[in-house]
Structure 1
Amino acid sequence: MSITIKNSNSILDAKWFGNQPEATIETVSIDSRSLQNSEQTLFFALVGPNNDAHHYIKDLIATGVQNFVVTRIPEDCENQANFLVVENTLVALQQFAAYYRSLFHFPIIGLTGSNGKTIVKEWLNFLLSPDYNVIRSPKSYNSQVGVPLSVIAINEKHNLGIFEAGISTVAEMDKLEKIIKPTLGVLTNIGSSHDEGFADLEQKIQQKMLLFQDAEVLIYQKSSQVENYISAKTKAFSWSFKDENADVFVSKKEITNQETTLFYQYKGNSYQLKIPFIDKASVENAISSLMVLLHLDYETSVIQSRMEMLFPVEMRLEVKNGINNCSIIDDSYSSDFQSLKIALDVLESQNQFEKKTVILSDIFQSGFPNEQLYAKVAQLIVSNKINRVIGIGETISEFKDQFSNCITFKTTADFISNFEKLDFSNESILIKGARSFQFEEIVALLEEKTHETVLEINLNAISYNLNFFKSKLKPKVKIMVMVKAFGYGNGGLEIAKLLEHHKVDYLGVAFADEGISLKNGGIKLPIMVLNPENTSFSAIIQYGLEPEIYSIKGLHAFLKIAKQKNLSHFPIHIKLDTGMHRLGFEENTVDELIATLKGNSTVKIQSILSHMATSDDPKHYDFALSQIQLFDRLSSKIINELEINPIRHILNTSGISNFPDTQFDMVRLGIGLYGVSNDENEQKYLENVGTLKSIISQIRTIPAGDSVGYGRRFMAEKSTKVATIPIGYADGIARAWGNGVGFVLINEQKASILGSVCMDMLMVDVSEIDCLEGDDVIVFGESPTVSYMAKKLNTIPYEVLTSISQRVKRVFYR
């Protein structure tokens, strides 16, 4: 890309303010936190429900960014940069991308559907890249923002594009169609995802089909519902398992040894094809990919040889604990320029150490000549302040001199043979490699070894849930996020890093040691300690934590230590008891509180807070309202008599939704961040964060009359196939979940728990399930949910989540 700011102005029909009309634009950005922003970046200041990028423009100018698309120029930024003023910055980003797309005239494959978009995109990239220089959407960049960012990555060397488009409601696809302008369309499976955004299935299909309104050809599974919306100028190219009138009729499929043989008829001839998958979704996605190859007139032998080599698509980037106190960012299955930029941003957002290492393979499909490509990669490495580069591959080895502190190996095997000579400790490591380099072997070497039960944490879901609740807040209302109890069992430091990246205002922990751990991990956000013991006050001061003070005795104890340390205006938080009767100053102690603090400059009241007892229960609405009213009255009295202006907050997760008019200055988000709501309707809009997974250790068949587990609490009435899972009550699975009460999911089927849950194991009935030793087991996640488990166990989701032992490995992914 090389567009001047002057040209950008005419593209966007913007009002121009600046003095450098010939300034050149090389990249586009929407993320103020990215270290890749530079003087040649055009920054679009997007405005969301509760986040406005205009607030960060002054900081961006300080880092060297000079070109901005805005709806207004911040007062303290006038005459300091080039500004293009528009009515809507998101619309402007989409207009810019649509214009940029119009500069290129090679074929574009556009994909949409409910499921399978990203997998088909990645498979098509694999199948077609030997013959084309492909540009494709990185990861799942298919949204109103992701699609324009994907398209803007095209360069002059590309000759085929593959872009996916995702929508969640009406009036979205039209905008994406103008940006992608596909010449060949692929409609994948239409399922129930995002059903809530559409009146019915018919409307969903109609909206998705808008992507193909000007496409030359559409590939789809034959359906009259779809055909109702195919444009007259678009050629239909259909496939079917049932309708012999389809262009490609799949007459039979045979499943053997984890592979499927498809028999299909095309243009009067019969063919067969092997693919290394047996599940229905993968088979359908493979057929969509096959249809593209048929449309492009690939030879049968090429189709067969390439389709046999299809692979499971790893669509997520994982954050893992590594050996020697390292943190690993595992993106070991792709190596292209765009995804490298994304992975480096993730490395920065999750960075726990000053030292940063990137292990990088040869980069493919960049569209740039190698000299230009590795110069750009080296620039990214410098921008992201990477301390060490380890390159693996013939090509990157040739360009070793482009990088400082770089060591290279020709192959992954060479790296592994020299592994013991390399020092990996106390650092963040990004592992980024093309699939052919088999970097999963490097991950295995560097990953901390634990048992095979893991709690997978979806960082994208946390971001989504955070933004869901932020969208409910009034402008300028701050947000504190609770990361106590090891992040509600999900992992405190990694989640705190993400929240810091999202620029929340405060973090909340229960005890000082939790806050100290976060500070030692590099967290710079202010951290409030909700239940500080008097003995921890010195440590709280030492680590710059902020204590909640809830009693006169505690206040005097803290003031004594603060005076001894000659503190001035040290931030504290005053807790009022308005009816919870757990901790806090009661109404009859408020006067003494005021008298103690009047004229005292040792501390500063940073906030005044209280806690609601029934914010989630409509039956106690009046009581909740009385708490809010008492809090307002008591906090106002303290503010007026001490002549201060603290932050006031009383609402927790349920309160945010149920008492929107009493947000005061800040709210405290807890369990909602982790995808759990007490409101069934609201629950539908939250994303599942944690999935507890294990494997099958052993399978055996017992005869009728035999028993399973301690106390013989399960007696087999017939021959029963039993699978043993290496997870038990020491990992946090309640014993009450056993004896047929609970179940796990194996190959998407329920397996009832037999007998008692043991300390380290549980046993399940797999008599009706086709499974093998080593197969994955879902303990909770999408099903069963933690809310379902809590209901069956007569407890609350908090207890289920926080009970998961820290010996269970946490794996974070995007």
Structure 2
Amino acid sequence: MNIQELYSCFTEADGISIDTRNITPNSLFFALKGDNFDANEFAQEALNKGARYVIMDNPKLVTDRDKMFLVQNTLVALQQLANYHRQQIGLPIIALTGSNGKTTTKELIKSVLSQKYNVKATQGNYNNHIGVPLTLLQFDDETDIGIVEMGANHLNEIALLCTIAQPDYGYITNFGKAHLEGFGGFEGVIKGKSELYDYLEDNHKMAFVNADDPRQDAKTITFSRFTFGSKDTEPNLEISYLPNTEVASIHVGDQAIVSHLTGTYNATNMAAAVAIGHYFGVSFTEANQAIQNYIPTNNRSQWIKQVPFSILMDAYNANPSSMELSIANFAQLTTSTPKIYILGDMFELGRTSEKEHNNIVQQVVETTHTKAFFIGKEFFKAQASVSSESIEFYETLDDFFAQYPAMEELLANKTVLIKGSRGMALEKIVSFLK
């Protein structure tokens, strides 16, 4: 099956399906393979549930030659289809990556640009070698601008995603200590994320750049870019950051923009969205309205306030860089109630894991004298180096719950930061309270 034939099937169908548990009617089903499954085995089930066609790569399982079509590799075929579709629709695409803040920044950019354009963007964190093609295949003739989030935990992943999406613009939020195990260290992170810059430069495309970040500034100095930042950097768009005890705020033009997000790191994410909107002709007033209307969800810098609790839930993900920023931001907040830290393990750090977890414990010890709970096997190893009645260590979340069955009493009338890697499932603490 060649790409034109595959594209014909796509145009006849109503969207893409990759999971027989949620087949959409008249969809094009791709029988992908995983470590523990082979969707070729469910090809007939996909048709029975309403799929129009099935794309598969196991000839032994073809039972309907009118609706089942063979390719050499279904994943590669999905990626090729997405790239072909991207070329057919020809709309401007903004790609973004980085160690921290990708999804929040993506949502802010979408909110701002949507004031003037019909915008489609990556849903959730569908930002890998499967998610990016699925995102591209959602763009249609009515889409004015597409936003594609790109995630990676190894070298060459961003490069692959760029060849599929062929972005016209790119933005890197930052370089941080994320996925150190896969990238082989911090320098590997920089190299891997910079694959977006490599694509933009090689193809004469444009980068949006936070000029206040020396690494981003240096990486993009030689090619087409639009910069934002403080006046000292002489950016294309000057933005200043307003001090605030609880929420991120910026000032641009004649607008003071106050968000529902917390932390100076989110102020930078806001600035990026405003700058990109400004480049595409969205006024500061429109951008202000968009950001004020954006309410964070999915445990990302999300305030949960209900008497008698006040919880800053930032437990969607964590790495040393984001953890350090969250702790520093929480420490400087002025609150009317005592603070408590509940911090969970950071994953995918490889041989640096022990050192990075120890560093976080020491940061908490040095910056605060309030109560702190560290949960997870990696943090649990650090307890031998700390002697403080205000700090407690638990190997698992269940151990923590067992020690404090009356969680409401522990956290009542407190301001609480909850942060850890997604696999720690710290959101269960909030569910327990409710």
C-alpha distance in 1, partners of 2:178/2:27?
35
Match of 1:616 in 2: none
CA gap 1:139/1:750 in 2 versus in 1, 3 angstroms: farther
SS of corresponding position for 2:243: strand
Residue 271 of structure 1 and its aligned partner are, at CA, apart by 5.6
Greater gyration radius: 1
C-alpha distance in 2, partners of 1:161/1:795?
44
Residue 801 of structure 1 and its aligned partner are, at CA, apart by 5.2
- Choose which of 11, 24, 27 in structure 1 pairs with 2:3: 11
Name structure 1 gaps, 5 residues minimum: 1-8, 15-19, 265-269, 318-332, 334-439, 445-449, 462-683, 685-698, 701-721, 728-744, 753-763, 767-776
Match of 1:723 in 2: 338
Match of 1:31 in 2: 19
> Do the aligned partners of 1:137 and 1:164 also contact (CA within 8 Å) in 2?
yes
Aligned residues between the structures: 368
Match of 2:258 in 1: 275
Q: Which one scores higher on RCO, CA 8 angstroms, separation ≥ 6?
A: 2
Residue 28 of structure 1 and its aligned partner are, at CA, apart by 0.9
Match of 1:706 in 2: none
Task: Give per-residue Cα distances to partners, 1:255-276, cap 9 Å, x unaligned.
Answer: 1454566466xxxxx7663333
RMSD, aligned CA: 4.7
Task: Give per-residue Cα distances to partners, 1:492-533, cap 9 Å, x unaligned.
Answer: xxxxxxxxxxxxxxxxxxxxxxxxxxxxxxxxxxxxxxxxxx
Query: How high is the sequence identity, in percent, across the aligned residues?
Result: 21
C-alpha distance in 1, partners of 2:233/2:394?
54
Task: Give per-residue Cα distances to partners, 1:585-612, cap 9 Å, x unaligned.
Answer: xxxxxxxxxxxxxxxxxxxxxxxxxxxx
Residue 72 of structure 1 and its aligned partner are, at CA, apart by 0.9
Residue 282 of structure 1 and its aligned partner are, at CA, apart by 0.9
CA gap 1:129/1:59 in 2 versus in 1, 3 angstroms: same
> Do the aligned partners of 2:174 and 2:216 also contact (CA within 8 Å) in 1?
no
Task: Give per-residue Cα distances to partners, 1:736-762, cap 9 Å, x unaligned.
Answer: xxxxxxxxx99x84599xxxxxxxxxx
Match of 1:109 in 2: 94
Task: Give per-residue Cα distances to partners, 1:426-461, cap 9 Å, x unaligned.
Answer: xxxxxxxxxxxxxx99xx9xxxxx98599x998x99
Match of 1:692 in 2: none
2:38 is the alignment partner of 1:46:
no
CA gap 1:13/1:807 in 2 versus in 1, 3 angstroms: farther
C-alpha distance in 2, partners of 1:283/1:273?
12
Match of 2:237 in 1: 248
C-alpha distance in 2, partners of 1:751/1:104?
54
SS of corresponding position for 2:147: strand
Residue 284 of structure 1 and its aligned partner are, at CA, apart by 0.9
Instruction: For 2:373, give the aligned amino acid.
Output: V
SS of corresponding position for 2:89: coil
Residue 93 of structure 1 and its aligned partner are, at CA, apart by 0.8
Residue 73 of structure 1 and its aligned partner are, at CA, apart by 2.8
- Choose which of 232, 235, 246 in structure 1 pairs with 2:224: 235
> Do the aligned partners of 2:155 and 2:183 also contact (CA within 8 Å) in 1?
yes
Match of 1:344 in 2: none
2:364 is the alignment partner of 1:765:
no
Residue 182 of structure 1 and its aligned partner are, at CA, apart by 2.3
Residue 245 of structure 1 and its aligned partner are, at CA, apart by 3.7
2:49 is the alignment partner of 1:63:
yes
Match of 1:78 in 2: 63
> Do the aligned partners of 1:275 and 1:310 also contact (CA within 8 Å) in 2?
no
C-alpha distance in 1, partners of 2:140/2:151?
23
Instruction: For 1:306, give the aligned amino acid.
Output: Q
> Do the aligned partners of 1:41 and 1:65 also contact (CA within 8 Å) in 2?
yes
Q: How does 1:248-327 map to 2 (within 5 A)?
A: 248-250=237-239, 253-256=241-244, 258=246, 262=250, 273-276=256-259, 279-303=263-287, 305-306=288-289, 309=292, 311-315=294-298
Instruction: For 1:27, give the aligned amino acid.
Output: G
C-alpha distance in 2, partners of 1:257/1:224?
26
Residue 45 of structure 1 and its aligned partner are, at CA, apart by 1.4
C-alpha distance in 2, partners of 1:312/1:804?
34
C-alpha distance in 2, partners of 1:724/1:165?
35
Match of 1:94 in 2: 79
CA gap 1:806/1:32 in 2 versus in 1, 3 angstroms: farther
Match of 2:414 in 1: none
C-alpha distance in 1, partners of 2:74/2:193?
29
C-alpha distance in 2, partners of 1:29/1:238?
39
- Choose which of 169, 172, 183 in structure 2 pairs with 1:187: 172
Match of 1:779 in 2: 373
> Do the aligned partners of 2:55 and 2:68 also contact (CA within 8 Å) in 1?
yes
Q: How does 1:361-380 map to 2 (within 5 A)?
A: none
CA gap 1:246/1:92 in 2 versus in 1, 3 angstroms: same
Instruction: For 1:291, give the aligned amino acid.
Output: A
Residue 129 of structure 1 and its aligned partner are, at CA, apart by 1.6
SS of corresponding position for 1:103: helix
Match of 1:597 in 2: none
C-alpha distance in 1, partners of 2:277/2:123?
22
Residue 175 of structure 1 and its aligned partner are, at CA, apart by 2.5
Residue 292 of structure 1 and its aligned partner are, at CA, apart by 0.9
> Do the aligned partners of 1:112 and 1:188 also contact (CA within 8 Å) in 2?
yes
Task: Give per-residue Cα distances to partners, 1:214-254, cap 9 Å, x unaligned.
Answer: 3642111236654665597x52112344853433344x544
> Do the aligned partners of 1:110 and 1:165 also contact (CA within 8 Å) in 2?
yes
Q: How does 1:416-495 map to 2 (within 5 A)?
A: 452=309
Instruction: For 1:800, give the aligned amino acid.
Output: D
> Do the aligned partners of 1:790 and 1:800 also contact (CA within 8 Å) in 2?
no
C-alpha distance in 1, partners of 2:238/2:394?
52
> Do the aligned partners of 2:341 and 2:372 also contact (CA within 8 Å) in 1?
no
CA gap 1:176/1:724 in 2 versus in 1, 3 angstroms: closer
Match of 1:221 in 2: 210
CA gap 1:244/1:781 in 2 versus in 1, 3 angstroms: same
Match of 1:569 in 2: none
Q: How does 1:397-412 map to 2 (within 5 A)?
A: none
Q: How does 1:685-700 map to 2 (within 5 A)?
A: none
CA gap 1:208/1:789 in 2 versus in 1, 3 angstroms: farther
Instruction: For 2:90, give the aligned amino acid.
Output: H
C-alpha distance in 2, partners of 1:71/1:812?
43
Residue 185 of structure 1 and its aligned partner are, at CA, apart by 2.0
Residue 289 of structure 1 and its aligned partner are, at CA, apart by 1.2
Instruction: For 1:174, give the aligned amino acid.
Output: A
SS of corresponding position for 2:59: coil
SS of corresponding position for 1:84: strand
Structure with the larger helix share: 2
CA gap 1:104/1:300 in 2 versus in 1, 3 angstroms: same
C-alpha distance in 1, partners of 2:182/2:219?
19
Match of 1:135 in 2: 120
SS of corresponding position for 1:33: helix
Provide the TM-score with structure 2 as the length reference. 0.68
C-alpha distance in 2, partners of 1:783/1:287?
37
SS of corresponding position for 1:111: strand
Residue 168 of structure 1 and its aligned partner are, at CA, apart by 1.4
> Do the aligned partners of 2:376 and 2:396 also contact (CA within 8 Å) in 1?
no
> Do the aligned partners of 1:176 and 1:211 also contact (CA within 8 Å) in 2?
no
Residue 96 of structure 1 and its aligned partner are, at CA, apart by 1.0
> Do the aligned partners of 1:239 and 1:247 also contact (CA within 8 Å) in 2?
yes
Q: How does 1:202-217 map to 2 (within 5 A)?
A: 202-210=190-198, 212-213=200-201, 214=203, 216-217=205-206
Residue 288 of structure 1 and its aligned partner are, at CA, apart by 0.7
Match of 1:157 in 2: 142
SS of corresponding position for 2:233: coil
C-alpha distance in 2, partners of 1:282/1:21?
42
2:111 is the alignment partner of 1:126:
yes
C-alpha distance in 2, partners of 1:152/1:286?
27
Residue 138 of structure 1 and its aligned partner are, at CA, apart by 1.0
CA gap 1:308/1:452 in 2 versus in 1, 3 angstroms: closer
